[in-house]
Amino acid sequence: MRNIADDRVHLTREHAVELLRQMTRVRRFEEKCAELYTQEKIRGFLHLYIGEEANAVGVISTLTGDEAIVATYREHGHALVRGLPMNEVMAEMFGKAVGSSRGRGGSMHIFSAHHRFFGGNAIVAGGLPLAVGLALADKMLGIERATCCFFGEGAAAEGEFHESLNLAALWHLPVLFVCENNFYAMGTALARSQSNPSISARAAVYGIASEAVDGMNVVDVEAAARRAVHAVRRGEGPRFIETKTYRFRAHSMFDPDLYREKAEIETWKKRDPMVLFADWALSAALLNLDDREAIEADVAQEIEAAVAFAEAADFEPVEDLMKDVVSPPSEYIR
Amino acid sequence: MTNSRLTYREAVREALREALARDKRVFLMGEDVNRYGGAYACSLGLPAEFGDERVRDAPLSESAFVGAGIGAALGGMRPIVEIMTINFSLLALDQIVNSAATLRHMSGGQFSVPIVIRMATGAGRQLAAQHSHSLEGWYGHIPGIRVLAPATVADARRMLWPALEDPDPVIIMEHATLYNDEDELPADGDMSVDITKAATRRQGSDVTVIAHSACVKKALNAAEMLVGEGIDCEVIDLRILRPLDDETIIASVRKTHRAVVVDEAWRSGSLAAEISSRITEQAFYDLDAPVERVCGAEVPIPYPKHLEQAALPQPQSIAAAVRKAMRR
């Protein structure tokens, strides 16, 4: 096996444990969510990130806690890795009042002002202008930090993608754009929807340094993100990373997944980012089997507690329906 | 206290100058606001005072620069985003409707979006069907935002600061035909103004005429025309299109027992429809006549002057509606 740590990521044992722990948390959390969905505890759209965990884990491990994250409707992983308490994220999935968005957003709209986690945007490419604006605010306020914006490759067909890249490059703004290219915009394959399937090449035409990496390899993702975010923080303008990845599950729980070949899915599953990393870390003696078991046991406990927390929690009272449409002193329209 | 005479355009500019001077977090962003001076010359001279960063030319990317304004507001700034005309604001609707208006509620109250978006609206300058529409009623439909329509020089001067102080998104609709209007204003003193209440621009006892923006002047003209016929109109300037000030409207209708709603926008699904409905819901038994509406003709606004004017409410058509309400 190729040494996937062959770059500037400093892979201590502690860091390896953390990477595997975070990927495991996201994976097991979502497997539980799928189960809870079939039990009708979770409703609405549920977009699973299973297979793509290395992206959120690799990128977010390079960010400081006050660097803003803007994500999409497939953002459970990003929220958990950023540090939103699993209890609150699970309660949000249940629509409970102690959820991270008071239960009002559900799976697609997880927010945390405290964690500078700005959602949870379910309009494809809708988050890019917001990230540009957050970075603009930092630049105007003289705060030296990056804003990280996640989106899928489907976003590259939207005008907001191009407008935002142009603006970020033109104004030299500190944005790290991360395109998680899972090759399908819902059911439409990249080649069926985009004239130039290289997303990173399209970013480059705006004068943004960009690179494509293996999104199934958490160390590659982290290495690319580390290089990029350092450049962004140094004031070198925006950077762009395209991660080539794959979702193992259907687009949402409503999706019968008729548009992908089973063989294709199976081929990608052989490159499961969790397994890939764990096997390599074991072979490199960074981790041992006991570590893996301990991580799984800890995560199982965390999830069990989160489900119990969400189950026991109350829904927001209906009387609060109109609360926070606008700020308190303003009157609500009839 | 001395008075100064200024145009609506100068009033907008003075309001911008005051805001930029008072709060370092305020900046103006939009197409042609800097080098050009603003499509309606509202920001002429401001770059020299406040610099290119704070009077910021944006590319023709309405969605991105409105969205960036929302992001900057989330990030601690107080952006004023100028959109050249309301027709162009359609290119930014995603950001306004799906982000600015939703973020507070959808996040469970965690985020405020203190952005002010200014845009020119309305017909009357022979700019044809892609620069002349009155879509403010669409914005008035959306919970989570406040919509202001200054019809006077004083409101153009005074509404911006309270709009910036509102923690929620505020849209200010500036009618393109008002920029050259002139009025006397106190040169100094308290410039703040209430952005929750409609204003009664003319007291009257026979019929309530409700209008906003450029139609307020037309309603006042109609009222003067009707004096000779012994009809005494009360004219209400809505000022705030969302949330509507029901109290002022209903109190006036209870007094006059008749209402005419004037709206430059298309009749179907209009703000005029909403106001008429509210009057019927809240003051039906006080009415002596059906509520009348005077709206824009349901056509894309045409270029030639005679057709454009025929498509818009006019003092004559308002007066005719008042006579109908009075059964004259």
Sign of the C-alpha dihedral, residues A243, A246, A250, A256? positive
pLDDT digits (tens, 9 = 90+) for A49-96: 999 999 999 999 999 999 999 999 999 999 999 999 999 999 999 999
Inter-chain contact A163–B63, Cβ cutoff 8 Å? yes
The verdict on B137 and B161 lying in the same domain is yes
Closest CB from A101, A141, A170 relative to B76: A141
Closest CB from A113, A133, A324 relative to B105: A324
Which residues in chain A are contacts of B66 at CB distance < 8 A? Answer: 129
At residue A329 the predicted structure's pLDDT band, cuts being 50, 70 and 90, is low
Sign of the C-alpha dihedral, residues B302, B304, B310, B312? positive
Chosen for mutation from B34, B66, B106, B112 (greatest number of chain A CBs closer than 10 Å) is B106
Inter-chain contact A129–B146, Cβ cutoff 8 Å? no
The verdict on B182 and B213 lying in the same domain is no
- Span A27-47, average pLDDT: 97
Q: Establish if A317 touches chain B: CB-CB under 8 angstroms.
A: no
End position of a domain, from candidates B160, B186, B212: B186
Spatial strand order of the sheet with B292-296 comes to: B199-202, B233-237, B207-211, B259-266, B292-296
* Cβ-based neighbour number of residue B327 at 10 Å: 8
- Span A188-216, average pLDDT: 95
B193 belongs to a structural domain: no
Cross-strand bridge partners of residue B262: B294
* Cβ-based neighbour number of residue B283 at 10 Å: 20
- Span B249-259, average pLDDT: 98
Q: What pLDDT score does A333 carry? A: 37
Instruction: List, in order, residues 6 or more apart from B269 with CB less than 8 Å away.
Output: B137
Q: Establish if A111 touches chain B: CB-CB under 8 angstroms.
A: yes
B191 belongs to a structural domain: no
B295 belongs to a structural domain: yes
End position of a domain, from candidates B145, B163, B186: B186
DSSP secondary structure letters along B253-266: HHHHS-EEEEEEEE
Query: Locate tokens 């009025």: which residue?
Result: B183
Q: Among B61, B44, B54, B46, which residue's Cα sits nearest to residue B79?
A: B54
The verdict on B135 and B253 lying in the same domain is no
- CATH number of residue B23's parent domain: 3.40.50.970
The verdict on B252 and B133 lying in the same domain is no
pLDDT higher than 50, residue A4: no
B192 belongs to a structural domain: no
Q: What pLDDT score does B328 carry? A: 87
Q: What pLDDT score does B188 carry? A: 72
CB pairs A-B closer than 8 Å = 165
Inter-chain contact B99–A126, Cβ cutoff 8 Å? yes
Instruction: List, in order, residues 6 or more apart from B92 with CB less than 8 Å away.
Output: B62, B63, B65, B66, B67, B83
At residue B191 the predicted structure's pLDDT band, cuts being 50, 70 and 90, is confident
The verdict on B220 and B172 lying in the same domain is no
Closest CB from A100, A101, A136 relative to B71: A136
Max CA distance (Å), chain A: 65
pLDDT digits (tens, 9 = 90+) for A111-162: 999 999 999 999 999 999 999 999 999 999 999 999 999 999 999 999 999 9
- CATH number of residue B286's parent domain: 3.40.50.920
At residue B269 the predicted structure's pLDDT band, cuts being 50, 70 and 90, is very high
Sign of the C-alpha dihedral, residues A131, A135, A138, A140? negative
Q: Establish if A14 touches chain B: CB-CB under 8 angstroms.
A: no
Q: Which two tokens stand for residue A265?
A: 């899915």
Query: Is B306 noted as a catalytic residue in this protein?
Result: no
Contact between B185 and B3 (Cβ < 8 Å): yes
Q: Establish if A325 touches chain B: CB-CB under 8 angstroms.
A: yes
The verdict on B142 and B238 lying in the same domain is no
At residue A319 the predicted structure's pLDDT band, cuts being 50, 70 and 90, is very high
* Cβ-based neighbour number of residue A265 at 10 Å: 16
At residue A331 the predicted structure's pLDDT band, cuts being 50, 70 and 90, is very low
Closest CA in chain A for residue B241? A333
Shortest Cα–Cα distance, A166 to chain B (Å) = 9
Alpha-carbon distance A118 to A121, whole Å?
A: 8
Question: To the nearest whole number, what is the mean pLDDT of chain B?
Answer: 96
Burial A288-308 (b: 16+ CB within 10 A, else e): eeebbeebeeebeebbeebbe
At residue A324 the predicted structure's pLDDT band, cuts being 50, 70 and 90, is very high
- Span B309-326, average pLDDT: 98
Closest CA in chain B for residue A159? B63
Question: To the nearest whole number, what is the mean pLDDT of chain A?
Answer: 94
Chosen for mutation from B61, B146, B247 (greatest number of chain A CBs closer than 10 Å) is B61
End position of a domain, from candidates B154, B186, B218: B186
Q: Domain count of chain B?
A: 2
Inter-chain contact A325–B104, Cβ cutoff 8 Å? yes
Query: What letter would DSSP give residue A315?
Result: P
Inter-chain contact A104–B105, Cβ cutoff 8 Å? yes
Query: What letter would DSSP give residue B99?
Result: I
Which residues in chain B are contacts of A164 at CB distance < 8 A? Answer: 61, 64, 67-68
Give contacts of A 140-169 with B, CB under 8 A.
Answer: 140-141, 159-160, 163-164, 166-167
pLDDT higher than 50, residue A1: no
The verdict on B211 and B166 lying in the same domain is no
Query: Is B62 noted as a catalytic residue in this protein?
Result: yes
The domains located in chain A, with CATH, are 13-320 (3.40.50.970)
The verdict on B245 and B112 lying in the same domain is no
B248 belongs to a structural domain: yes
Alpha-carbon distance B249 to A295, whole Å?
A: 65
The verdict on B286 and B164 lying in the same domain is no
Alpha-carbon distance A197 to B277, whole Å?
A: 52
- Span A321-330, average pLDDT: 87
At residue A6 the predicted structure's pLDDT band, cuts being 50, 70 and 90, is very low
Q: Residue B55: which domain range? A: 3-186
Q: Which two tokens stand for residue B323?
A: 């006579």
pLDDT higher than 70, residue B1: no
Contact between A141 and B77 (Cβ < 8 Å): yes
The verdict on B76 and B212 lying in the same domain is no
User: For chain B, what percent of residues have pLDDT higher than 70?
Assistant: 99
Single out the catalytic residue among B62, B234, B274, B308.
Answer: B62
Cross-strand bridge partners of residue B266: B296
The verdict on B247 and B305 lying in the same domain is yes
Instruction: Say if the ipTM goes beyond 0.90.
Output: yes
Contact between A210 and A224 (Cβ < 8 Å): no
The verdict on B182 and B105 lying in the same domain is yes
